[in-house]
């Protein structure tokens, strides 16, 4: 699978750890930054969203300190459905019900193991379609 990752400085360590695990599992990972230096999370959200909307990747992973600011920024971009995840059930539902094309985490709020389990829960899920697809279409039309 091809996946794009991005973070600000607050999510950098988590982004690096998730990237490492994805690569170890054979995924092709594109990294839009940062490299650990202080950056503004909206810039990273825009860079990653562009890649997702170009259709080059299956989905994107964003990390900032809390995951809040970077997911808020991504969700301003039409076509992006970014889900801030803090538990595995929500990560699975983000795919099954919401067909999220970006998942977001807080590097200062969740541990690497927990974040990785959430990434796996999302990746192992399938969008259920039907009424859920209709609701996602309603979001996209907003
Ligand atoms: C940066 O210090 C911090 O504000 C950012 O990483 C994030 O938590 C914002 O939502």
Question: What are the tens digits of pLDDT across the range 5-24?
Answer: 999 999 999 999 999 999 99
DSSP state at residue 139: H
Give the whole-number percent of the chain exceeding pLDDT 70.
100
Cα separation, 104 vs 88, whole angstroms: 12
| pLDDT attached to residue 35 | 98
Where do runs of H (alpha helix) occur along the chain? 12-24, 41-53, 68-75, 88-96, 112-123, 131-141
pTM: 0.98
- Domain 2-141 matching CATH 3.30.1130.10: the answer reads no
Q: Residue 56: pLDDT band by 50, 70, 90 thresholds?
A: confident
Reply yes or no on whether the pLDDT at 131 is more than 90: yes
Q: Is 85 a catalytic residue?
A: no
| pLDDT attached to residue 78 | 97
Q: How many residues does the chain have?
A: 142
Domain range list for the chain: 2-141
Ligand 1 site residues, Cβ closer than 6 angstroms = 8, 10, 41, 64-66, 68-69
Give the distance from CA 110 to its chain's centroid: 14
């Amino acid at each position: 699978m091809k996946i794009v990752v991005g973070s600000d400085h607050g999510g950098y360590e988590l982004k690096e750890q998730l990237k490492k695990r994805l690569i170890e599992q054979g995924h092709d990972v594109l990294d839009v930054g940062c490299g650990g230096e202080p950056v503004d999370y909206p810039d990273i959200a825009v860079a990653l969203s562009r890649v997702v909307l170009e259709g080059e990747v299956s989905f994107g992973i964003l990390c900032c300190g809390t995951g809040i600011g970077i997911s808020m920024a991504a969700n301003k971009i039409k076509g992006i459905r970014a889900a801030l995840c803090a538990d595995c059930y929500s990560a699975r539902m983000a795919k099954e019900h919401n067909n999220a094309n970006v998942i977001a985490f807080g590097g200062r709020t969740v541990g690497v193991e927990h974040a990785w389990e959430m990434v796996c829960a999302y990746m192992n899920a399938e969008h259920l379609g039907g009424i859920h697809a209709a609701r996602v279409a309603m979001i996209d039309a907003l």
